[in-house]
Amino acid sequence: MVAMTVELRNVEGTEAALGWAGGHTIVVDRPEGRAGGQGLGFNGAQLLGLAIGGCFCNDLRYTAHADGVRLGRIAVTVTVELDGEPLLATSATMTVLCETLDGSDPAPIIERAKATCMVSNSLKVGIPVSILPRAPEPA
């Protein structure tokens, strides 16, 4: 089994959070005027859409690389539908444009990437999410 951990902390002087994994960072916030948000970063629905689409873009590259096919342009659009109280993601739709540099049909690469995409496949089967309190860190 492999485990991946990310960290988030509040950004001093704002109500936003800074998240990181390794040397990569991202700002998470609510839209300006919503619950103290200043629109400084992505909200949860946007992050979910980026996770779905970003993982798929990576899997297109992994699949093409394994097949010895070089990819050109990739364009992925993800729409996350939200509904209810509390607000929940009820569905996501992803459209994919993928071009190969040799002009071959990209459909088999798209299909294999779909079969191996960790984020979308995890969401399809559902995963348990545990939320546990943690003691404050020493100053």
State whether 61 and 121 are in the same domain. Answer: yes
**By residue range, what is the domain housing residue 89?**
43-126
State whether 25 and 59 are in the same domain. Answer: no
As for how many domains the chain has, the answer is 2
Residues 16-20, mean pLDDT to the nearest whole number: 97
pTM given for the model = 0.92
Q: What confidence category does residue 25 fall into, taking pLDDT thresholds of 50, 70 and 90? A: very high
Other beta carbons within 10 Å of 73: 9
Non-local (6+) Cβ contacts of 73 within 8 A are: 97, 98, 99
Residues 67-90, mean pLDDT to the nearest whole number: 97
Of 39, 105, 40, 51, whose CA–CA distance to 76 is shortest?
Answer: 51
State whether 27 and 69 are in the same domain. Answer: no
Of 22, 18, 24, whose CA–CA distance to 41 is shortest?
Answer: 18
